[in-house]
Amino acid sequence: MTILDLITGLLLLAALFFFVAGTVGLLRFPDLYSRLHALTKADNVGLGFAVLALMLQAQSWSEVFKLGLIWVLVLAASATVCFLIGNEALRRGVKPWTGKSP
């Protein structure tokens, strides 16, 4: 096991943490908007760590480049989708949670 493998492991653990956090958020948060927040933000960071970890294991620079591209694309896509869902929910009159029970 090289030092590179060790760093990979650590990065993956970090990724795992963020994914778990995101998932917990998705399950536990009270309303749509906060769930969206948890899902997109935490998962994007988690994916970022995972991509980084894999980059360290890559065989060539082109692989590194492709992994990076994946991250960027997912980032763009999830941001857009998150925006669309939130926007649509707002349009349909889904009220954000304010902490007070109605």
Partner 1 sequence: MDREIAMMSHVFDWILVLLVLALAWRSLNDCDLFRGVIQFIALGLLLAVAWLRLRAPDVALAEAAVGSGLTGALILSALVRMRQRERRGVPASASSDTSRTLQSGTSNRSRVLIGALSLALLTALGWAVFRFSAQSSGLAVESLAKLPESGVTNPVTAVLLNFRAYDTLLEIGVLLLAIVGVWALRRGERPGDDLRERPLLMSLLRLLLPVLVLAAGYLLWIGASAPGGAFQGGALLAGALVLGLLAGLAGRFLRRERLLRTGLTLGVLVFAAAGLLALWRTGGLLQYPAGQGGAWILVIEAAALISIGLTLGLLYLGGRPEEEK
Give the interface with partner 1 as residue ranges (CB under 8 A).
Answer: 73, 76-77, 80, 83-84, 87
Nearer to partner 1 among residue 60 and residue 98 (C-beta): 60
Distances (CA, A) of 23 to 34, 35, 39: 12, 9, 7
* Closest distance of CB 83 from partner 1, Å: 5
Q: How far is the CB of 34 from partner 1 (least distance, A)?
A: 20
In this complex, which beta carbon is closest to partner 1, that of residue 9 or of residue 83? 83
Shortest distance in whole angstroms from residue 80 CB to partner 1? 4
DSSP sequence for 10-52: HHHHHHHHHHHHHHHHHHH-SSHHHHHHIIIIIHHHHHHHHHH
Beta strands in 46-89 (DSSP E): none
Of residues 10 and 76, the one with the C-beta less far from partner 1? 76
